[in-house]
Amino acid sequence: MIQEFRVQNFMSIKDEQVLSFEASKDDISREFLTYQVKPNVSLLKMIVLYGANASGKSNILCAIQNFWEMLCKPLWKKESTIFYEPFALNVDEPTKYSCIFYIDSIKYEYSISYNKNFVLQEKMEYAPNGVMSLFYKRNFVGEDQIPKIEFGGSLGLAAKSKSAMIANTLNNHTVLSTYAKISVEALPVKTVHEWIVNNVHELDEDKGEVIETAEDIIKDVEKKEFFLKALGKADFNISDIKLEKKELPQKVIDSILNDKTISEKDREKLLEQKRDEVIFVHHTKAGDFSLSQRLQSLGTLKYFTLLGRLYNMTKDNHIYIYDELERSIHYDLFIYYLSFFMMHTQASQIILATHDQMLLNEEFVRRDIVWFTAKSKETGATELYSARDFGLHKNVSLYNAYKIGKLGAKPELGSIF
């Protein structure tokens, strides 16, 4: 779970902005929206971001995703450049991230500073026995020189493993991501790396997810029952889900036949291939009928993939990032999804950006989960702040306060005349 995330000099973000997941003493939805990772440390399971268009909501989400990607995905060539998008007026300054997070009950603190070509500094500490100690730290030495890396003694790394990690860490990627390139005996490193890869998910990760989800459902009876029950509650009338092999579309066949760069052997293999297609069986009083995924609405397909993530969160602790989660689905489904997440997951987290003001009027919404982005009038940079910063009386409606502009983070439209 994330406790705190900081970002500086990334896209529209100039000065350091802090997103905190620490729960306040508010009793609203405490049982369902907070999780105690250790005594006296309660973290929020959900963060909701509001703000006008182009205020930086999506950039906050992108920063979170980029942070985790840098930790687990290495660059393989020393000439490769890092994804570096500084604030327009700070192009000579490094981007900086820092994060406090927990894997089970173990606390980790990590920070990194980098530019287009080099990781300049990074440091990770952790508390396997309740006391913070060094995991590793690294400093940039020179363009063609091996970075200076020091591993903490509590890791128990053999000299051979340390040497392998150092030798394979390029100046343009993190030390932790090196684990994806080599096989070393490094259990603490493996634990963190695998947790990020398996439990922290990309922003709106849905490429090919309909087919992948259907494949999982067909293999897993329990998961299929979960889906059919949830789809039934959503009133989609879907009674079964199947996967069928279909012939390639004629356009694809023609393209393969006309491509002169493809050898005859490869052409034959390509033409023999069939594509998977998800078939949804619908049940009505008049009888059953089947529709392929191509004939389903965007809302149905989106909710289908969302259910896959929801199921994952009921089985293990995951972090999902959403930009406009409610897009293409009915508001009642949106609220049902969030409510189910709150009541049936333990230590998973959802970070979502939305424009739906109605959510602020829901009884389960705590003020510490609501955050806003706004543009600085001086620099145009993104500023991030929490609803609880305003100190509103508990009887004041957050929905009404936002609607009338008391909380900012809205477009200033003025009169239509």
Tens of pLDDT along 330-386?
Answer: 999 999 999 999 999 999 999 999 999 999 999 999 999 999 999 999 999 999 999
- Greatest extent of the chain over all pairs of C-alpha atoms, in Å: 74
Residue 22 per-residue DSSP state: B
Between 151-160, 257-266, 285-294, 324-333, the lowest mean confidence (pLDDT) is in 257-266
Q: 122-162 pLDDT, tens per residue?
A: 999 999 998 999 999 999 999 989 999 999 999 999 999 99
What percentage of the chain carries pLDDT values higher than 90? 75
Between 85-94, 230-239, 255-264, 390-399, the lowest mean confidence (pLDDT) is in 255-264
Q: Tokens 């702040």 map to which residue? A: 385
What pLDDT is stored for residue 235 in this prediction?
87
Q: Which two tokens stand for residue 391?
A: 């100190």
* Interatomic CA distance for residues 344 and 382, integer angstroms: 34
* Interatomic CA distance for residues 29 and 99, integer angstroms: 25
> Quick one: pLDDT band at residue 273, thresholds 50, 70, 90?
low
Task: Check if the beta carbon of residue 244 is closer than 8 Å to that of residue 277.
Answer: yes
Burial string for 169-204 (b: 16+ CB within 10 Å, else e) reads bbbbbbbbbbbebeebebebbeebbebbeebbbebb
C-alpha distance from residue 314 to each of 1, 213, 363 (Å): 15, 15, 23
Most confident of 31-35, 128-132, 269-273: 31-35
Which candidate, 87, 115, 104, places its Cα nearest to that of 11? 87
Q: Tokens 């959510």 map to which residue? A: 359
What pLDDT is stored for residue 238 in this prediction?
93
Q: pTM higher than 0.85 for the full model?
A: yes
Q: 152-208 pLDDT, tens per residue?
A: 999 999 999 999 999 999 999 999 999 999 988 888 999 999 999 999 999 865 556
**Strand order across the beta sheet in which 95-103 lies:** 17-20, 2-8, 95-103, 106-114, 119-126, 133-139, 148-151
210-228: average pLDDT? 93
Provide, for the chain, the percentages of residues in helix, strand and coil under a 3-state DSSP scheme, each rounded to the nearest 5: 35, 25, 40
The residue with greater pLDDT, 124 or 254, is 124
Instruction: Spell out where 95-237 has E strands.
Output: 95-103, 106-114, 119-126, 133-139, 148-151
Residue 312 has pLDDT above 90, yes or no: yes
> Quick one: pLDDT band at residue 247, thresholds 50, 70, 90?
low
> Quick one: pLDDT band at residue 263, thresholds 50, 70, 90?
confident
208-232: average pLDDT? 91
Q: Which two tokens stand for residue 212?
A: 């992948």
The residue with greater pLDDT, 286 or 123, is 123
What pLDDT is stored for residue 102 in this prediction?
98
20-34: average pLDDT? 96
Q: 349-359 pLDDT, tens per residue?
A: 999 999 999 99
Q: Give the CATH architecture of domain 1-201+318-417.
A: 3-Layer(aba) Sandwich (3.40)
Residue 275 has pLDDT above 80, yes or no: no
What pLDDT is stored for residue 13 in this prediction?
98
What pLDDT is stored for residue 257 in this prediction?
78
> Quick one: pLDDT band at residue 46, thresholds 50, 70, 90?
very high
Are β-strands 95-103 and 382-386 bridged in parallel, bridged antiparallel, or unpaired? unpaired
Which candidate, 159, 16, 23, places its Cα nearest to that of 99? 16
Separate counts of helices (H) and strands (E) for the chain: 11, 17
Where along the chain do its domains lie? 1-201+318-417, 209-316
